[in-house]
A and B are shown apart, each in its own frame.
Chain A
């Protein structure tokens, strides 16, 4: 039986929402948080909400975080709902992440690579000790900026291996990519649609899936070939102009995983790759995405599909936390009629069983 709508409870709902607003505000003696403060000082949360809400707008993400009391899935939900109110005016030309203005760029496979290892604003190498000094307003310390800035775009790590033919090339352009916000999912899903699903997928889910591949469930021996984070300009070609224009910058994180591959009947042994790209500074997400992207290519590369992360349908159907939260949380809505019918069925079955037993 389907879900049956119920009426009533308006007064209770209004009162519940009024209390929610009070709880959201917290102790009135404490200064109210400003959305600009969230945008500037809780940047990683803003980035995650933009990625999983699949909408790049730091101001809206900050507002959503405030409204959702820091519940990031609820905040992503708010962004997804907001995006449905806006018309899509254009799509961008494919981003050129090779031309990224680098804030961070590291490689775990080559130590001395052209452009060098640039750490950027990272939590790596911190001791993970609580810094009690942050409890008090601290004077602003300026980050050192005395380094000689690189003027050339940083070459990708893949390119060094590609010159020797030891790594698979980027695939050819396959025309207009699929869009799962416009067309229903169909399997087998192409890599374009899979990457779209991963880019808006839940970081926790992707982390667990990526981690499972490292622990032996569809392992593919990954190396972090390159991780880069920085700003990339977005170019669109409006129909009314007929030429491309630059509409601004996005902060993005990109991960190129390099994986062992022993070759197949048609392909010599070489490195294969998994790819991760996400809005904002989201290194964990980009890395996990790249691991799962590679795992989902098992069939294409002639590997056995045995593990959850290699199962495209399983991953793509369960990566979206808005869909997941909708279906899990709908269980708390009234199911009175459904349950009544189940109750009737169980009673009848028991009565029949007792009757049969008495008769035997």
Chain B
């Protein structure tokens, strides 16, 4: 779900193009836009407080096989939420699970991980190396 929540519509359609068609579905709910109240922690690690809200889109589908797929993703993108819910349903189907994991989830996870690593490397490039005057300490 973490991978699907971070995938763009282009990402999802691109990956789905190289996997078998998702099972037929009926939409049980949504896609609908709503809010999630984001909570922080007082002092970073204490009791909770309400920081502010964020937009989310959620969607629930049921496949012909009876699997119910659910997605709640950050932002306002109904098409993304619908695809994520359909993939979530299909992943519960033994016939699709391994194929989708290999064709959609794993490559997207890899791509997202690469983006995170690049960001971390950028941050690391701005890490300060202090020059300490060691002779002064003697």
Interface residues of A (CB under 8 A from B): 50-51, 54-57, 59-60, 83, 86-95, 97-98, 101-104, 111-112, 116-122, 143-150, 156, 158, 170-181, 191-193, 195-196, 199-200, 230, 233-234, 236, 238, 240-241, 245-250, 254, 256, 273, 275, 277, 279
Contacts and interface: CB of A to CB of B under 8 A. Distances in A.
A101 B34 CA distance: 26
Contacts of A90: 36-37, 56, 72
Contacts of B50: 91, 177-181, 192, 196
A144 B120 CA distance: 11
Given A111-B130, A149-B117, A177 B47 contact: yes
Lowest 10 A-B CB distances belong to which pairs?
A147-B124, A248-B74, A149-B120, A170-B46, A246-B2, A56-B54, A147-B125, A89-B34, A170-B45, A192-B49
Nearest to B54: A56
Interface in B1-42: 1-2, 5-6, 33-42
Nearest to A158: B44
Contacts of A275: 42-44
B36 A97 contact: no
Contact of A247 (B49, B73, B121, B125): B73
Nearest to A191: B42
B: interface residue count bin: 35 or more
B51 interface: yes
B86 interface: no
6 contacts: A55-B55, A101-B116, A117-B130, A147-B127, A238-B70, A247-B74
A241 B70 contact: yes
Contacts of A179: 37, 50
A122 B53 CA distance: 26
B138 interface: no
Given A119-B127, A149-B124, A247-B56, 19 more contacts: A54-B52, A55-B55, A60-B76, A87-B34, A88-B53, A93-B39, A95-B40, A95-B51, A98-B44, A98-B45, A103-B119, A118-B126, A174-B48, A179-B50, A192-B48, A247-B36, A248-B5, A249-B74, A256-B44
Nearest to A235: B2
Contacts of A98: 44-45
B35 A191 contact: no
Given A101-B119, A277-B40, A86 B55 contact: yes
B40 A88 contact: no
Contacts of B64: none
A177 B72 contact: no
Contact of A83 (B53, B72, B76, B120): B53
Contacts of A60: 55, 76
Contacts of B124: 118, 147-150
B136 interface: no
A149 B12 CA distance: 28
Interface of B: 1-2, 5-6, 33-56, 58, 60, 70, 72-76, 116-128, 130
B45 A51 contact: no
User: In the complex, which of the residues B6, B35, B44, B119 has the most CB atoms of chain A within 10 Å of its own CB atom?
Assistant: B44
B51 A116 contact: no
A246 B5 CA distance: 7
Contacts of A91: 36-39, 50
Contacts of A145: 118, 121-122, 125
A16 B40 CA distance: 43
A158 B43 CA distance: 10
Given A57-B54, A89-B58, A143 B34 contact: no
A117 B46 contact: no
User: In the complex, which of the residues B33, B36, B38, B117 has the most CB atoms of chain A within 10 Å of its own CB atom?
Assistant: B38
A92 B60 CA distance: 19
A245 B72 contact: yes
Contacts of A89: 34-36, 56, 58, 72
Contact of B53 (A56, A158, A192): A56
Given A95-B40, A192-B42, A245 B1 contact: yes
A57 B75 contact: yes
B35 A87 contact: yes
B33 A94 contact: no
Contacts of B35: 55, 83, 86-89
B48 A120 contact: no
